[in-house]
Amino acid sequence: MIKLIATDIDGTLVNKKKELPPDFDEVVKALKDKGIQFAVASGRSISALEVQFAPYLDYISLICDNGALIVDRGKKLSSSVMPRDKVIRIIDICEENGMVPLLCTPGMTYLADSDNGYKNEVMLYYNRRRVMKDLRQYDDEVTKVAVYQKDGIENNGLKVLEREFGSELAVQLSGFYWVDIMNPGISKGRGIEVLQQRLGADYESTMAFGDYLNDIEMLQSAYYSYAMENAHPAVRQTANFSTGSCEDFAVTKVIREMVLE
């Protein structure tokens, strides 16, 4: 019996226009009625998720900042704040290597005064923003540093970040332009484990959907793990099952077929 269903958002639950499935409201409420917990797991910060999922916050779970902040039905379960010296060092390395950092906190996203490509990307995923001339002057609890590189980061800056921080922090490729850096051990998979313990769920009673590399640990935590048709090759190799595209709103189709019907 399924007890927990978790899904990534961008490239998975929503289409390229960032639209939720047309039957999302019906499906989430039906899961609630059956006693099945629904969770969204994202690299986005909590302020953005609270806006997008405002009607459902009393009965869904939020795995924010790739697992650095976990909220279940309005109650914060855990938060992982990064040490200031490590955040400053990330900022330094980014500036030295043609990358631009973004500081994520529970209440605000701090962005550098950089080019329009970076700013346009930030506006897609973060709704509460503050521009700073020098990010080193931040005074807040940073749960994640997102790093942007305008020509794509997987074959460029990712190698630098892994070399500099891979042994002491969690470094995850989260998109074509983005790498997310969190405290060690932080991932969406950790978020799933926290919720499983709270719900009395396990690997066999968990379903998960994802499309990119920061979803791998989450998929590894669920027997009913689905890679989207548009998923990164490594994600397709990890998942036990596959499904259609985010453009076809395949997540709610699978939930209907496998759980609700």
- For residues 197 and 178, state if they share a domain: no
pLDDT of residue 117: 82
Edge-to-edge order in the sheet of strand 75-79: 75-79, 69-72, 60-64, 37-41, 4-7, 206-210, 224-227, 241-242
pTM of the model: 0.88
Examine the domain organization and report whether 24 and 42 are in the same domain. Answer: yes
Q: Of 123, 149, 182, which closes a domain?
A: 182
CATH number at residue 246: 3.40.50.1000
User: What is the residue type of 143?
Assistant: T
Q: Is the same domain home to 89 and 176?
A: yes
Note down the domain range covering 98: 84-182
Q: Do 201 and 157 fall into the same domain? A: no
Task: Choose one of 182, 215, 232: the last residue of a domain.
Answer: 182
Q: Which SS3 state, helix, strand or coil, does residue 237 take?
A: helix
CATH number of 170's domain = 3.30.1240.10
Residue 237 CB-density burial (10 A; 0-12 exposed, 13-18 middle, 19+ buried): exposed
Nearest-CA neighbor of 97 among 38, 159, 46?
Answer: 159
Identify whether residues 177 and 194 lie together within a single domain: no
Last residue of a domain, one of 124, 153, 182: 182
Report how many domains make up the chain: 2
Are the C-beta atoms of 212 and 154 separated by less than 8 Å? no
Indicate whether 17 and 61 sit together in one domain: yes
The pLDDT value recorded for residue 254 is: 98
**Nearest Cα to 128, choosing from 143, 147, 108, 144?**
108
Measured between alpha carbons, how far is 178 from 45 in angstroms, rounded to an integer? 14
Phi, psi of 148 (to 5 degrees): -110, 140
Per DSSP, which regions of 115-158 are E strands?
129-132, 144-148
Which residue stretches of 82-187 are H helix? 84-96, 116-125, 157-165
State whether 106 and 174 are in the same domain. Answer: yes
Gap between the Cα atoms of 11 and 178, Å rounded: 14
Which pLDDT value is given to residue 179?
95
Helix axes 84-96, 157-165, angle to 10 degrees: 150
β-sheet bridge partners, residue 220 = none
Which residues, in sequence order, are CB contacts of 175 under 8 Å at separation 6+? 10, 43, 212
Domain identity same for 160 and 126: yes
* 89 and 172, same domain (yes or no): yes
Per-residue pLDDT for the chain (261 aa), expressed as one digit of tens each?
Answer: 999 999 999 999 999 999 999 999 999 999 999 999 999 999 888 988 999 999 999 999 999 999 999 999 999 999 999 999 999 999 999 999 999 999 999 889 999 988 778 888 888 788 789 999 999 999 999 999 999 999 899 988 999 999 999 999 999 998 889 999 999 999 999 999 999 999 999 999 999 999 999 999 999 999 999 999 999 999 999 999 999 999 999 999 999 999 998
Same domain, 140 and 206: no
3-state secondary structure of 224: strand
Beta bridge partners of 60: 38
Q: Are residues 161 and 92 in the same domain?
A: yes
**190 and 75 in one domain?**
yes
